[in-house]
Amino acid sequence: MQTTEQKYLDYVKKLSHFQEAVGLIGWDLRTGAPKKGVAQRGEVLGTLQSESFNLSTSQEFKDLLQELREDTTWGTLDEVTQKSVEHSEKSLKKFENIPPEEYKNYVILTSQAESAWETAKANADFDSFSPYLEKIVDFNRKYVDWVGYEGHKYNALLDDYEPGLTVDTIDRVFGELKEALVPLVKQITESEQPKTDFLFTHFPKEKQEAFSKAILTSMQYDFEAGRLDTTVHPFATGLNPGDVRVTTKYDESDFRTAVFGTIHEGGHALYEQNIDKSLIGTNLCSGTSMGIHESQSLFYENFVGRNFAFWERHYETLKEYADGQFDDVSLEDFYEAINVAGPSLIRIEADELTYSLHIIIRYELEKALINGEIEVADLPEAWNKKYEDLLGIRPSHDGEGVLQDVHWSFGAFGYFPSYALGLVYAAQLKQAMLKDLPNFDDLLRDGNLAPIKEWMTKHIHQYGKKKSPVELLKDTTGEGVNAKHLITYLSEKYQGIYAL
């Protein structure tokens, strides 16, 4: 007869299989599924997610968890099983009060809303998307009450993406970033800008793709455990460590969109590819939080991909793919051009200096929505005003404003803070890494990124969800969330580039 532990592990593995199927369908929906199949695919997703939801809140699962918690059993379980049970208990406690039919309808709604968002964005037509968003916001407001919260309502949503962090902590960190970055951005805006016109020469998509694959290979991305595809909004998805897929977006008049987007998503993918294989089939086999996940993508995009030493190695390779575009451009001019900073409207194309301000705007709007301080109909004007207040610019239409990001269409409220937190974490990790790899720039200069990936795997990747984000940060850097490293890095870098 099976032991209770084995029954539990088999049950969790079954749940992981459902989630892998859901992930694969989600990838397909975003990478070219026929428009006429979206509605039916949404129903399929709804069924799979509902079955998974029912399994994860069933009486059978509750009984298994209770039996494993018996004193005579708990002490015999290994660390992985104990951590897995703790995650299952937390998930059960959170979701058992959600009405199953409402959850199923919500999954169907969000799968259809994502397609509606694509059309609305292309047409800059917020009114066509707002009915979907109103229902999504309504569900998330009810969700907060269903799962419960302490302090601020938004804490319930934060816990889904960044367990252990609260509005109080994020308000403090984001306040420090605003105080330091807003005046620096203003100073740079008023300074002489580096020349950038050579960035916008025609760069064929197929050659961008070839260069992107070369960069992923240099980063140690395993193409036998993944692939690179095209999508409207770049993302990476980890089905399991042996199947982690990257997508990017190509702009033939601005190669940076694809190259830095690919490096960014490649950072996510390295995390998922290098989780300890023993965690496959458990609920621990994924990144511990979206903030830690973003620390990996933003570390590679900025601390590697925008580093002068990285381009000392890769600039000549880029020239080979670019058909003469950069032949008369010095490495120094190229470096300054790809690091040009200043107010912009599109988050995924923002420079690393202003990037956090884009996130803070979304965070403040989400809090206001969840609190009922604003409604969906108020979003376009509220969005435009915040961009004016914080960045000094105003969108000319909603396609480059409130509709630019996909996240709200699939209900990811509480997700956005992780982007700025990820940049804060990345700066902290870089400081910790330098103690072990003081030759960091030399490694980039030599094109030897393996020691960097190995360091990240040792300290971050391998653990999956075995460690919480707070534990990982403390164990690796010796401190909690600390914005000072990012502020110092950005101040020194951009004061240097702009000779301030």
pLDDT at 218: 96
192 assigned to a ligand binding site: no
Residue 1 has pLDDT above 70, yes or no: no
Confidence bin at 348 (pLDDT 50/70/90): confident
pLDDT at 303: 97
Q: How far apart are CA 376 and CA 136, in angstroms?
A: 10
Residue 500 has pLDDT above 90, yes or no: no
Confidence bin at 111 (pLDDT 50/70/90): confident
Confidence bin at 8 (pLDDT 50/70/90): very high
Confidence bin at 100 (pLDDT 50/70/90): confident
- What is the phi-psi region of residue 147: left when phi exceeds 0, alpha when psi lies from -120 to 50, beta otherwise? alpha
Task: Give the mean pLDDT of the chain.
Answer: 95
Span 459-479, mean pLDDT?
96
Residue 402 burial (CB < 10 Å; 0-12/13-18/19+)?
Answer: buried
Nearest residue to 29 via CA among 333, 324, 244, 235: 235
Which is catalytic among the residues 265, 301, 336, 352?
A: 265
pLDDT digits (tens, 9 = 90+) for 76-97: 899 999 999 999 999 998 888 8
Burial 117-126 (b: 16+ CB within 10 A, else e): bbebbeeebb
Q: How far apart are CA 394 and CA 400, in angstroms?
A: 10
pLDDT at 73: 82
pLDDT digits (tens, 9 = 90+) for 425-451: 999 999 999 999 999 999 999 999 999
294 assigned to a ligand binding site: yes
What pTM, to 2 d.p., does this model score? 0.92
- φ and ψ of 36, to 5 deg: -70, -10
pLDDT digits (tens, 9 = 90+) for 148-163: 999 999 999 999 999 9
Distance of alpha carbon 231 from the chain centroid? 16
**Is 265 one of the catalytic residues?**
yes
Q: What is the CA radius of gyration of the chain?
A: 23
What six digits make up the tokens of 279?
A: 């965690």
Q: Can you spell out the DSSP letters for 341-381?
A: ----S-GGG--TTTHHHHHHHHHHHHHHHHHTSS-GGGHHH
Span 22-27, mean pLDDT?
93
* Bridge partners of residue 246, in order along the sequence: 228, 236
pLDDT digits (tens, 9 = 90+) for 206-249: 999 999 999 999 999 999 999 999 998 889 999 999 999 999 99
pLDDT at 32: 84
